[in-house]
């Protein structure tokens, strides 16, 4: 047998209210920068990033929501086939945190337990405006059987660890 390994593709979908930082997290991870003028969603369906870890290689397909926040009927087709759902809220916006319950329920309804859900509290750099504590985020993630991490796309905090944690859950255990 040859040593070529099958390259697995995984679909990661980003969900959450508008302006919580979904596009910024993707941009920070892909390009390592933060463009404060960049408001629009990425104009393509998805971006791919190959992750190597020891002998294994996987390809992550990052699917940004292109305004589907306002067209919830599109969400089921978007979530279908996803391996990972990244549900983002803004730690300085309590309502965006409350709304993550709906997003998580949508994902469970469509994918059951065949999906890794990651709850992400973004914008931790807004220290004086924080409305959601780490404990609240952590408790909610536990309640829904999700992973949890806080990030700041603005300063690049925890962006690589977010995707590294996801990769560890996707990599074959051997």
Question: Taking CB under 6 A as the criterion, which residues in 11-70 touch ligand GDP?
Answer: 18-24, 36, 39
Per rule CB under 6 A, is residue 100 in the interface with ligand GDP? no
Per rule CB under 5 A, is residue 19 in the interface with Mg ion? no
| Alpha-carbon span 90 to 121, nearest angstrom | 6
Please state the closest distance from residue 41 (CB atom) to Mg ion, in A. 4
Closest CB to ligand GDP among 120 and 166? 120
Contacts of residue 129, defined as CB under 8 A and 6 or more positions apart, other chains included, come to 92
| Alpha-carbon span 101 to 155, nearest angstrom | 27
Is the distance from CB of 167 to CB of 8 less than 8 angstroms? Answer: no
**H and E: helices and strands count for the chain:** 6, 6
Question: Taking CB under 6 A as the criterion, which residues in 150-169 touch ligand GDP?
Answer: 152-154
Please state the closest distance from residue 45 (CB atom) to ligand GDP, in A. 15
Please state the closest distance from residue 167 (CB atom) to Mg ion, in A. 23
Return the residue of 122, 141, 148, 166 that touches ligand GDP, per CB under 6 A.
Answer: 122
Closest CB to ligand GDP among 58 and 63? 63
Contacted entry of Mg ion, ligand GDP, none for residue 153, CB cut-off 5 to 8 Å set by kind: ligand GDP
Count of beta carbons in the 10 Å neighbourhood of residue 63: 24
Per rule CB under 5 A, is residue 56 in the interface with Mg ion? no
Please state the closest distance from residue 20 (CB atom) to Mg ion, in A. 9
Is the distance from CB of 47 to CB of 9 less than 8 angstroms? Answer: no
Q: How many CA atoms lie within 13 A of 119 on its CB side?
A: 27
Contacts of residue 107, defined as CB under 8 A and 6 or more positions apart, other chains included, come to 15, 79, 82, 85, 87, 115, 117
The binding site for Mg ion (CB under 5 A) comprises: 22-23, 41
Residues lying near ligand GDP in the complex (CB under 6 A): 18-24, 36, 39, 122-123, 125-126, 152-154
């Amino acid at each position: 047998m040859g040593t070529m390994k099958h390259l697995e593709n995984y679909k990661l979908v980003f969900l959450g209210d508008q302006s919580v930082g979904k596009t910024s997290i993707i941009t920070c991870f892909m390009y390592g920068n933060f463009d404060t003028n960049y408001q629009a969603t990425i104009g393509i369906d998805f971006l791919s990033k190959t992750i190597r870890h020891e002998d294994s290689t996987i390809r992550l397909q990052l699917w940004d929501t292109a305004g589907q926040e306002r067209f919830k009927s599109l969400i089921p087709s978007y979530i279908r086939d996803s391996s990972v759902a990244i549900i983002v809220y803004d730690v300085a916006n309590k309502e965006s945190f409350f709304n993550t319950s709906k997003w998580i329920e949508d994902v469970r309804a469509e994918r059951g337990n065949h999906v890794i859900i990651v709850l992400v509290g973004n914008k931790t750099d807004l220290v004086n405006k924080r409305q959601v504590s780490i404990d609240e985020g952590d408790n909610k993630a536990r309640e829904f059987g999700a992973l949890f991490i806080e990030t700041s796309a603005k300063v690049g905090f925890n962006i690589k660890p977010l995707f590294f944690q996801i990769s560890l859950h996707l990599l074959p255990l051997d």
